[in-house]
Amino acid sequence: MTAPPPHLRRAATQLASGTLAASALLEACSGAPTTALPLAFGAAGVFLAPTLLKNCAWYGPVRKTFLTPNREVWLTIDDGPEPQQTPYLLDVLGQHGVKATFYAIGRKILQAPELSRRIVDEGHSLQNHTFLHAERSFWAAGPGRAHSELELCSRAICETTGATPTQFRAPVGFANPFVHAAAAAQKLSFIGWSSTGCDGVAHHPESVLAKIMASVRPGGIILCHDSQLRGMAPKSRAALLDSLLSRLKSEGYSCCLPLDLEDNKHPAQG
C-alpha cells in the first residue's frame, strides 16, 4: 500500500492530538483522573504552537528564502490591491525597473479588477493571500473553510486577470494543518518571508526601513504591504518603497522573481 503524502500524515497526526485533547478534556470535566487535564492542555499545545508561530514549517514546507548565486532579494507586497496605495507602488516599481510578487486578497481583487489587471500587465506576480484575509480567525479554519478561502482567491485571480496562481501566503503567517493540506491539494507553494519592517500596522517609515535593511540577505524574501491604514497618507507606502529600493540598490542588491521554486532547494528552506 502506498504511504499517504506528508501533508496528509501531518494533518492526521494533528487530528489525532486534537481528538486526544478533546477526550482528555471531557474526562477531566467529568471528574475523572487529574492527569486528564494536563494531558488535554499538552495535546492542545502541540496542535496550537506550530499554528501560531509565523511561517512555522512543522505542518508543511514554508519557503522563507530562495537559492541564488547573486546579491538578489525577492520583494513581496501583501494585502492589496488597494486603489489608495497600489497604483503609486506600481509607479515606483516601474521607475526602479523592479518586479514584485503581490499576495492579494480575493475580495479586493473583485473590487478592483482594473488595478489587478494592471499588476499582471506590468509583469508582476499576483498570488493567493486568501479570499477574506480574516487574520483573527483564519488560524482556526477547518478543512472546508481552509479549502474555500484558497480556492475562491485563486478563482478571483484567474477570472479577473487570466493568471494562474501557484503560490500562497497565510494571513499573518499563521497556518494550521488544514491550511497546509489545502495549499498542497491546490498545488500552491507556501511562501513566508525572511525580512519585514512590520509595516502592516501603524509604523514610522524610518524604523521600517531600518528593520528590513538590518535583516536583508542574498536570497531573502522581503515582506511589505499595500493596505490602507487609518491615518496614513495616500502615497506614504510608495515613498517608503522608493526609499527601500534606493537603499537596496546602494548596497548592491537587485530584486528578482524566483521562477522555478520547485528546483530551488535551499538549505534554509522551512
Binding residues for Zn ion, rule: CB under 5 A, are: 78-79, 171
Catalytic residue among 79, 225, 226, 242: 225
* Pair 90, 241: CB distance under 8 Å: no
Q: Which residues contact 185 (CB under 8 A, 6 or more apart)?
A: 147
Residue 171 beta carbon to Zn ion: minimum distance, rounded to whole angstroms: 5
Residue 126 beta carbon to Zn ion: minimum distance, rounded to whole angstroms: 14
User: What DSSP designation does 262 have?
Assistant: G
| 91 catalytic residue (yes or no) | no
User: If we measure between CA atoms, which residue out of 51, 78, 253, 54 comes closest to residue 167?
Assistant: 78
Which is closer to Zn ion, CB of 160 or CB of 227? 227
* Pair 80, 108: CB distance under 8 Å: yes
- How far is residue 254 from each of residues 53, 217, 236, measured CA to CA in Å? 30, 11, 23
Residue 78 beta carbon to Zn ion: minimum distance, rounded to whole angstroms: 4
CA distance 210 to 244: 9
Q: Which residues contact 49 (CB under 8 A, 6 or more apart)?
A: none
User: What DSSP designation does 5 have?
Assistant: P
Which is closer to Zn ion, CB of 81 or CB of 171? 171
Which is closer to Zn ion, CB of 128 or CB of 160? 128
Residue 85 beta carbon to Zn ion: minimum distance, rounded to whole angstroms: 14
Residue appearing with cell numbers 513566508: 192
- The helix/strand/coil state of 256 is coil
Which is closer to Zn ion, CB of 171 or CB of 177? 171
| 7 catalytic residue (yes or no) | no
User: If we measure between CA atoms, which residue out of 152, 179, 141, 184 comes closest to residue 166?
Assistant: 184
Which is closer to Zn ion, CB of 130 or CB of 161? 130
* Pair 67, 220: CB distance under 8 Å: no
Which is closer to Zn ion, CB of 66 or CB of 193? 193
- The helix/strand/coil state of 53 is coil
* Pair 7, 186: CB distance under 8 Å: no
Catalytic residue among 78, 79, 199, 226: 78
Catalytic residues: 78, 225
